[in-house]
Amino acid sequence: MSDKDFLKVKELKRSFGTGDTRQDVLKGLDFTVAKGEFCVLLGPSGSGKSTLLNILGGIDSADSGEIYINGDRLADMNEKSLTQYRRKHLGYVFQMYNLIPNLNVKENIETGAYLSDNPLDIDELLKILGLYDHRHKLPNQLSGGQQQRVSIGRAIVKNPDILLCDEPTGALDYTTSKEILHLIEEVNKKYGNTVIMVTHNEAIRQMADHVIKLRDGVIRHDTLNKKKITAAELEW
């Protein structure tokens, strides 16, 4: 397996409901993502992008098709190994930050660090995240952007191979969104994690290495971005 085939998806299908209410959400997807790539899954609501992300993250399962991550076939893993897979290789960032309300910033990040055998240095990470001065604050004392930074910190502190981001800027304003995107960009550069980000924001495609556009459960476009711009340069 080469770094180009770090993540390989073949004929992936997923549907919900049965009989008349059956809805095919993913109708046979095929794509690959290279190691260290910043990949954006783009599409309107209901296009199946979040379902795809959940399946990649091992918290949902496909009806058929194959997923290989770093050569490992996801379908071969039972629930226990899937948990270990998430523990060792994945970092998750959600639209809602889902922080633990009575743990402070540093402790929230520690919840991620605890899962890794070789986590990043937390203080250094806090500085990179711009949260060092806020490290003793509780989540409800932070702004939305700061909370999302904590959430990103929690995801990357364990130094995951893949960072899965589900609409990380969905609940944020323009400026804060750009800050967060910049941070993810920095993380991708600095730590070399493969980033797969789900968004419906067309503008974000410009900062990605790889753009996969979904609609009605099928891939409409699967392109590599040759003229990539930085998050700071994004406008929408």
What residues line the site for other proteins (CB under 8 A)? 35-37, 54, 57, 59-60, 80, 83-88, 90-92, 94, 96-103, 107-108, 110-125, 139-140, 144, 147, 154-155, 157-159, 171, 188-192
Distances from the Cα of 189 to the Cα of 165, 185, 226, angstroms: 16, 6, 17
CB of 89 to other proteins, least distance (A): 9
Q: For residue 35, with 0-12 CB atoms within 10 Å meaning exposed, 13-18 middle and 19 or more buried, which class applies? A: middle
CB-based contact 40:148 (threshold 8 Å): no
Cβ proximity to other proteins: between 193 and 199 the closer is: 193
Cβ proximity to other proteins: between 29 and 142 the closer is: 142
Q: Match 């893993």 to its residue by tokens.
A: 77
CB of 235 to other proteins, least distance (A): 25
Cβ proximity to other proteins: between 160 and 217 the closer is: 160
CB of 76 to other proteins, least distance (A): 18
Cβ proximity to other proteins: between 34 and 202 the closer is: 34
DSSP state of 198: E
CB of 206 to other proteins, least distance (A): 18
Rounded CA gap, 93 and 153, in Å?
9
CB of 137 to other proteins, least distance (A): 14
Tell me, what amino acid is at 154? R
In angstroms, how far is the first alpha carbon of the chain from the final one?
Answer: 38
Cβ proximity to other proteins: between 105 and 219 the closer is: 105
Rounded CA gap, 21 and 81, in Å?
32
